[in-house]
Amino acid sequence: KNQVEQSPQSLIILEGKNCTLQCNYTVSPFSNLRWYKQDTGRGPVSLTIMTFSENTKSNGRYTATLDADTKQSSLHITASQLSDSASYICVVSAGYGQNFVFGPGTRLSVLP
């Protein structure tokens, strides 16, 4: 069964600190993996997208990694800001890329 798991479920950090969120997937065949940021009550915003051949992709303070062999991805946030408080969702596209499997998300809270 195609599945995406994320850890931790929630995370609290202090402003300025770094953190890493994890995503494990059992989706086959793999097409691509995307990380979204979703503020409460709003639509998700794409942060990064990676295909099978990409190991790392950065978007400002956000850096995503992908290990296609172990089927794991991580999202590293550097020098966190209060505005980083949100849910971070990992999404894997399956088949010919037209089936999207969402993880449950990690709820990040950045405190002053």
Partner 1 sequence: DSGVTQTPKHLITATGQRVTLRCSPRSGDLSVYWYQQSLDQGLQFLIQYYNGEERAKGNILERFSAQQFPDLHSELNLSSLELGDSALYFCASSGLAGSYNEQFFGPGTRLTVL
Please report, as ranges, the residues that interact with partner 1 according to CB under 8 A.
31-32, 41-46, 49, 51, 89, 91, 93, 97-100, 102-105
Q: How far is the CB of 64 from partner 1 (least distance, A)?
A: 14
Q: How far is the CB of 28 from partner 1 (least distance, A)?
A: 15
Q: In degrees rounded to 5, what are phi and psi of residue 84? A: -75, -10
Q: How far is the CB of 12 from partner 1 (least distance, A)?
A: 21
For residue 38, the tally of other CB atoms under 10 A from its CB is 15
